[in-house]
Structure 1
Amino acid sequence: MKSLVLIFFLPILALAQDDQFTPASTNSLDHYVALYSATDLKVNATSSEELYSFVEKLNSKREGFKHDKAFLEYIFTKTHQRFLKNYTEYSSFNDLLNKGAYNCLTGTALYALLLEHFSIPYKIIETNYHIFLMATTSDGEVLLETTDPAHGFTDNEAEIEKRISGYKQNTIQQSTRKKQYYHFSFDLYNTVNLDEMLGLLYYNHAIKAYNNHQWVNAVAYLEKASLLYQSPRLEEFSRIILLSVVESKLDTSLKETYIKKIQYVRKRKMEVVADASY
């Protein structure tokens, strides 16, 4: 199979009552930080002390804000300054917390956990090559674009509509002409939850492994992703990696093992679709 560069989430840059948010239990934050960190199987567990210290500081600042949208903007700005320092296309959640290296998927995951912690109503929106957040405040909706520190907090209705229209076009912003990017055959605009976000983090690892011709790791990550989130992107990627494994130079017995694993993932996807049709 001709080598293609697969991409997942890319950055898309800039083109009522005063009810206070009640912080949710830290157990939820602990739970998802541990799960998201564990997606990076080759590194030690992330130290979350800095994140928890940061959350406590946000808690202490909350009462100083008269409007919830102002507090949300404070969260957006301070989180970017503290954790989102260098955009790196396939960085992991561990990389974000430990090194400040992030992409739009891991950045969105972190903001989603913070919004969840402070009980701020939000939606995680997934498109073909991008993911972003919509938050609801007593002063109106806000779009959070995690890869745009200068203009990523958008509360203007017309600008929100403009950005969403751009996201829905599902076009690829190619970083170099030397790469041949794969274009998905579908158009996504889905709302995902924190558990499905975990599946997407595993999926991104699978894409990275595939691009590095690490078929064994790619299949392992794909299996984990498929257990958490059934998506057209997983079905399409499983077909691509199946062809790649078939044409690879893996040992025959190992090749057969991973072909069976991929076929199982594809079969499970069809069974889920069939069950949903009843």
Structure 2
Amino acid sequence: MNKFLLGLVLLTLHATTSQATGEKYLSSETKLGLFIRSEFDDLAPEEVKSYEENYAAIVNKLKEKKATAKSDAMFLKHVFYTVHRKMLGEYEQYVTFSEIFKKEKKYDCVTGTALYALILDELGIDYQVHETDYHVYLVAYAGGKVYLFESTDALAGFAWDPKEIAERRAFVNQESIRINTELAMTGLASNEKSTQGATYIDNVVNLRQLAGLHYYNQALKQFNNNAHREAYKMIIIAQGIYPSQRIKNASSFMFSAAFED
């Protein structure tokens, strides 16, 4: 395996995914079907139904709370910590979205952020999901103010002070620059100048593109487990959903790994 492929494995989303093929929704009543996928999970219909019911119950309670909330800030803080306490338990990289609904409530930055995005969507709250080199996070907008939702920080993941939000977002990008620069210096980064040195990704993605990043993560998980052909299947779907440059690059090299024999 060449050095670029090693770098590709390192360039993943940490706690810090051709037209899509093989897509099959396991959930049709809500937008959970964007993330609970037949490609990831072999779930019985009754399991999916129970996930839908648990999700709907929390959303309905939050809608009731919204109707009596005294301020946007207090309500959004309530949303963040209630959802985290009830639905997000153990952090683990590359887990599938359905793990949120199981006993350990496992999640990562992609699936945790996806959960918040889905719920804010249900609540009619404006938001943006930010994709960076090694992390995904969400900012919400209400009453002319901005609120940070950092799914991987259970204690201090909600912020509303503009200076603090700006500093935390800048830190994420500075970490991307630092890691990318180190990888370039050690020969593990791409040979393309546009992806070397003091550069970083900070894209705003919609729900569908976030689902693409979920496939991207699952492709990297399979690749790290040396399941190269399965990784290629996942990355092709990711590319169909969200054809970003790094997903296209990953697709090319996973193809080489999968069919090098």
Distance 1:158-1:183 versus aligned 2 partners, 3 A rule: farther
Measured in 2, the distance between the counterparts of 1:148 and 1:171 equals: 22
Q: Which runs of 5+ in 1 are unaligned?
A: 13-27, 174-179, 250-278
Measured in 2, the distance between the counterparts of 1:112 and 1:193 equals: 9
User: Can you list the C-alpha shifts for 1:167-223, whole angstroms capped at 9, x where unaligned?
Assistant: 2121588xxxxxx9x657362110100111111111111111111111121111111
Distance 1:208-1:171 versus aligned 2 partners, 3 A rule: farther
Aligned residue for 2:248?
235
Aligned residue for 1:204?
217
1:9 matches 2:13: yes
One-letter amino acid of the structure 2 residue matched with residue 52 of structure 1: A
1:77 matches 2:107: no
Aligned residue for 2:70?
66
User: Can you list the C-alpha shifts for 1:59-117, whole angstroms capped at 9, x where unaligned?
Assistant: 22222311112111101000000111000111110111224100000000000001111
Aligned residue for 1:109?
114
TM-score by length of 1: 0.75
SS in 1 for 2:155: coil
1:39–1:201: 8 Å Cα contact kept in structure 2? Answer: no
2:239–2:251: 8 Å Cα contact kept in structure 1? Answer: no
1:128 matches 2:133: yes
2:132–2:201: 8 Å Cα contact kept in structure 1? Answer: yes
One-letter amino acid of the structure 2 residue matched with residue 217 of structure 1: E
2:177–2:200: 8 Å Cα contact kept in structure 1? Answer: no
Measured in 2, the distance between the counterparts of 1:219 and 1:95 equals: 23
The runs of 4+ residues in structure 1 deviating greater than 4 Å are: none
One-letter amino acid of the structure 2 residue matched with residue 34 of structure 1: G
Q: How many residues align?
A: 227
Equivalent residue in structure 2 for 1:224, among 214, 230, 237: 237
TM-score by length of 2: 0.79
Measured in 2, the distance between the counterparts of 1:87 and 1:117 equals: 24
Aligned residue for 2:183?
none
Measured in 2, the distance between the counterparts of 1:172 and 1:35 equals: 33
Distance 1:224-1:235 versus aligned 2 partners, 3 A rule: same
SS in 2 for 1:136: strand
Spell out the pairing of 1:1-278 with structure 2 (5 A cutoff): 1-2=1-2, 4=6, 5-12=9-16, 30-38=29-37, 40-44=39-43, 46=48, 47-98=51-102, 99-138=104-143, 140-169=145-174, 170=176, 185=195, 187-247=200-260, 249=261
Measured in 1, the distance between the counterparts of 2:108 and 2:78 equals: 21
Q: Which runs of 5+ in 2 are unaligned?
A: 17-26, 180-185
Indicate the structure whose relative CO is greater, using CA pairs within 8 Å and at least 6 residues apart.
Answer: 2
Shift of 1:57: 1.3
Measured in 2, the distance between the counterparts of 1:51 and 1:104 equals: 19
Larger Rg: 1
Shift of 1:39: 5.6
Shift of 1:29: 9.1
1:143–1:153: 8 Å Cα contact kept in structure 2? Answer: yes
Measured in 1, the distance between the counterparts of 2:202 and 2:59 equals: 30
SS in 1 for 2:117: helix
Distance 1:216-1:172 versus aligned 2 partners, 3 A rule: farther
Distance 1:39-1:88 versus aligned 2 partners, 3 A rule: farther
C-alpha RMSD of matched pairs (Å):
2.4
Measured in 1, the distance between the counterparts of 2:221 and 2:100 equals: 16
One-letter amino acid of the structure 1 residue matched with residue 215 of structure 2: Y
Measured in 2, the distance between the counterparts of 1:82 and 1:7 equals: 31
2:236–2:251: 8 Å Cα contact kept in structure 1? Answer: no
1:40–1:93: 8 Å Cα contact kept in structure 2? Answer: no
Shift of 1:245: 2.6
One-letter amino acid of the structure 2 residue matched with residue 189 of structure 1: D
